[in-house]
């Protein structure tokens, strides 16, 4: 069975659990995704499905995109991603097949969500690496939020590679593990996941079945 689908982060809200307590959730539009290519062990060396999500605007479609989508008899897709499948499960899928959220996920399951985190620009070591900073007393002056010494004496006489320093923060691929599916809403192609997921609104994400935890009791409203 396929392990994941492409989605889009819609935003955050809250729902009420069986005990009346509010549960913060992220609403993700998951699918419908179309099978654009079926990769096999014999031809590509590994079994996988290439999924497409959201149709491209006509102005942005190029000839290679049209040719690739024509094989699956679907419009060219904006986002293409691969998800692995078992080798003995390849015959269960066909080119152009539509896969919906309720076919893959269920309330109470645990999922891993991968996306691009918010970019925070150039940040110092206290925000970027959670360093303590210098004491604001006992002779400290000029630098209170710095990282302190970055080198050593004659040996090795250089700044070691990988030293934690100020720099660009965020805007990187992040995976949040083991998030609980609170609700599945097939009529809206929506998945309500407990907690926050990486990225801004309208950010594209990949939702996969969790690799560490598998299932917890659902808190469906």
pLDDT band at residue 144, thresholds of 50, 70 and 90? Answer: confident
pLDDT at 87: 77
Query: SS3 of 69, please?
Result: helix
Say which residues have a Cβ less than 8 Å from residue 194's Cβ, sequence separation at least 6: 23, 24, 25, 179, 180, 181, 182, 219
Residue 125 or 57, more confident: 125
What CATH code is carried by the domain that includes residue 206? Answer: 2.40.30.10
Say which residues have a Cβ less than 8 Å from residue 149's Cβ, sequence separation at least 6: none
Residue 214 has pLDDT above 90, yes or no: no
Q: Is 7 part of a structural domain of the chain?
A: yes
Chain segment 30-83, per-residue pLDDT in tens: 989 999 988 888 888 888 889 999 888 877 788 888 898 888 888 888 889 998
Q: Which residues of 92-101 are buried (b: 16+ CB within 10 A; e: fewer)?
A: eeeeebebeb
Percent of the chain with pLDDT over 90: 45
Q: Are residues 21 and 107 in the same domain?
A: yes
Give me the helices (H) in the chain, please.
63-72, 101-104, 125-129
Q: Are residues 37 and 90 in the same domain?
A: yes
Burial class (CB in 10 A: 0-12, 13-18, 19+), 11: exposed
Domain membership of residue 177 as a residue range: 1-31+102-118+171-221
| pLDDT, mean over the chain | 88
pTM of the model: 0.80
Residue 12 has pLDDT above 50, yes or no: yes
Percent of the chain with pLDDT over 70: 97
Q: Show which of 152, 169, 186 is a domain's final residue.
A: 169
Count of structural domains, the chain? 3
Question: In this structure, are residues 30 and 207 in contact, taking their beta carbons and an 8 Å threshold?
Answer: yes
Residue 120 or 72, more confident: 120
Chain segment 147-186, per-residue pLDDT in tens: 888 887 888 888 999 999 999 999 999 999 999 999 999 9
């Amino acid at each position: 069975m396929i392990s994941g689908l492409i989605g889009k982060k819609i935003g955050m809200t809250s729902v009420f659990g069986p005990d009346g307590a509010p549960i913060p959730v992220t609403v993700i539009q998951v699918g419908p995704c179309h099978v654009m290519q079926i990769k096999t062990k014999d031809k590509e060396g590994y079994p996988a499905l290439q999924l497409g999500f959201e149709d491209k605007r006509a102005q942005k479609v190029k000839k290679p995109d049209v040719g690739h989508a024509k094989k699956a008899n679907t419009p060219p897709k904006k986002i293409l991603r691969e998800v692995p499948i078992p080798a003995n499960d390849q015959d269960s899928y066909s080119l152009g097949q539509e896969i919906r959220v309720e076919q893959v996920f269920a309330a109470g399951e645990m999922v891993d969500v991968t996306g691009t985190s918010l970019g925070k620009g150039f940040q110092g070591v206290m925000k970027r690496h959670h360093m303590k900073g210098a004491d604001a007393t006992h002779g400290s002056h000029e630098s209170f939020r710095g990282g302190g010494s970055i080198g050593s004496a004659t040996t090795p006489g250089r700044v070691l590679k990988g030293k934690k320093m100020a720099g660009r923060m965020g805007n990187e691929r992040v995976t949040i593990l083991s998030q609980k599916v609170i609700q599945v809403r097939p009529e809206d192609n929506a998945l309500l996941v407990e907690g926050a997921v990486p990225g801004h609104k309208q950010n594209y994400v990949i939702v996969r079945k969790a690799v560490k935890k598998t299932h917890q009791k659902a808190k469906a409203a």
